[in-house]
Amino acid sequence: MTVSDLFQIGVSGARSYQAAMGAVSNNIANTDTPGYSRRTIEVKESPSGAGTTIWYRSGIAYGGAMIGQVLRASDPYLDSAARHTGNALGSVDQRARWMNDIQTALNDGTLGVGQRMTAMFSAVERLASNPTDTTLRADVLFSFEQINTAFKQSHGDLVAIRDSIGQAATSDVAALNDALQQLATANEGLRRSQEGTSAHVSLLDSRDQALFEITKRLNVTIEFGANDVANVKYGSETLVENVSATQIFVTQDADGLLHFQAGDAGPTGTPIADPAGGSLGGLTSSAKITKERIEAVNDLAAEYVEVINDWHMQGQTADGTPGAAMLSIGADAASLQVLITDPAGVAGASAPGAINGNLLAITAIRGSGSVEDKWLSLISTHGNLVSATFAEQTAASNRDQMAQAARADVSGVNLDREAADLLRLQQAYQACARVIQVAREITDSLFAIF
């Protein structure tokens, strides 16, 4: 080994460990960057050479150290598990949000349909005890107005939820299309970049982040190809193939149901199946349940009008006039109206002539199978669904946190680990600098001799 070899060893080592410390610095700077995976620099022995021509004497040249490649910390299994749990959490998060909003819209409080109906029956009972009291008659009419208001409020809130789900789906599809295009762009870069380079590693981060955003919204199938390119399919439809991305479009029917197609929003687009997972799956499921709840409210409102009118028309007013229809409804609960405005028009008497006979007969429309009972059943059914969804959300959140933590243990940046690596690399760099210093001292000594 010659003195020049010492210089080569020291300089190459210093350069290599300087690059390695740069990677650590980059890790620390990107601790909170979404999708960033920890990098390390491979430092390996530089190949030695030997002179074999007739003009040179045979010998060995020591090359020292060299930078091999940029290594990216990742685990395909953990990445896949994190995408899977993220997909499940994306679905249940949407369902939990909208199911809770629907529960608020149905309103089981003092201003809700159920308690307003109970208040109406109480008002009729009070009038039955004093059937000639004009104020109590006005209270009965007002109680019907309050029921109508409660129905209208629930219906209006549910319609607003239906429209908001459509807007959320449109926004989510736009984000999905952005992620699909990001993946296609990353694929294009991966096909051109050399494996082990800094550019290739950065493109892998971009690819995996795009895949996470896609799977968070849609239950897709991922296939990895040459040069680490990722292709994505949904059912039989290819969404990303190499550098080509297909857009997704969503439409909402008048009743709130969501429909999806690929390629184009018009008649030339390809209809695709309703998503079963991801946030779009949660929105699709929520849209269906919202439609069912709106229909249930409208059906109960129509039944409420029919039952009350039947009851009221069986009675008579104080002057013997047959009772008229009390309520009316159009296409939905939003059109409910009280038709009688004069307290004297309340048909409290029965046909045989009892002045409060029809008021007392109202108890026949209460109990099992009544509108009041069906409303309580609707509230209870949806309440159970909300509880089950929240329990599912908690479980999905826990699984996702564990999957993300396991992935972060491998791919994430740990500042304590980076600090230890930085200290180790600094010592290695100082050792290389010392080799250079020793080589210089030897050279100086040799020059001093001659």
Q: Is residue 407 part of a domain?
A: no
Task: Answer yes or no: do 295 and 394 share one domain.
Answer: yes
Task: Answer yes or no: do 363 and 437 share one domain.
Answer: no
pLDDT of residue 61: 58
Task: Answer yes or no: do 222 and 346 share one domain.
Answer: yes
Series of mean pLDDT values for 10-residue runs along the chain (450 residues): 73 83 86 87 71 51 74 90 96 97 94 94 95 95 97 97 97 96 95 89 93 96 93 94 94 94 83 93 97 97 97 92 94 96 93 88 92 95 97 97 92 87 87 85 80
pLDDT of residue 62: 61
Task: Answer yes or no: do 422 and 334 share one domain.
Answer: no
pLDDT of residue 196: 84
Q: Is residue 57 part of a domain?
A: yes
Task: Answer yes or no: do 57 and 85 share one domain.
Answer: no
Q: Is residue 379 part of a domain?
A: yes
- How many structural domains compose the chain? 2
Token duo for residue 291: 């439609």
Task: Answer yes or no: do 66 and 85 share one domain.
Answer: no
Task: Answer yes or no: do 41 and 119 share one domain.
Answer: no
Query: 366, 382, 401 — which closes off a domain?
Result: 401
Q: Is residue 133 part of a domain?
A: yes
Q: What is the 3-state secondary structure (H, E, C) of the chain?
A: CCHHHHHHHHHHHHHHHHHHHHHHHHHHHCCCCCCCCCEEEEEEECCCEECCCCCCCCCEECCCEEEEEEEECCCHHHHHHHHHHHHHHHHHHHHHHHHHHHHHHHCCCCCCHHHHHHHHHHHHHHHHHCCCCHHHHHHHHHHHHHHHHHHHHHHHHHHHHHHHHHHHHHHHHHHHHHHHHHHHHHHHHHHHCCCCCHHHHHHHHHHHHHHHHHHHHCCCEEEECHHHCEEEEECCEEEEECCEECCEEEEECCCCCEEEEECCCCCCCEEECCCCCHHHHHHHHHHHHHHHHHHHHHHHHHHHHHHHHHHHHCCECCCCCECCCCEECCCCHHHCEECCCCHHHCCCECCCCCCCHHHHHHHHHCCCCCHHHHHHHHHHHHHHHHHHHHHHHHHHHHHHHHHHHHHHHHHCCCHHHHHHHHHHHHHHHHHHHHHHHHHHHHHHHHHHHC
pLDDT of residue 392: 97
Whole-structure pTM value: 0.87
Q: Is residue 316 part of a domain?
A: yes
Task: Answer yes or no: do 112 and 237 share one domain.
Answer: yes
Task: Answer yes or no: do 231 and 374 share one domain.
Answer: yes
Mapping DSSP to helix (H, G, I), strand (E, B) and coil, where does residue 202 land?
helix
Task: Answer yes or no: do 85 and 130 share one domain.
Answer: yes
Task: Answer yes or no: do 123 and 66 share one domain.
Answer: no
Range of the domain at 57: 3-73+412-449
Task: Answer yes or no: do 158 and 134 share one domain.
Answer: yes
Q: Is residue 406 part of a domain?
A: no
Residue 64 · residue 10 · CB < 8 Å:
yes
Q: Is residue 123 part of a domain?
A: yes
Q: Is residue 112 part of a domain?
A: yes
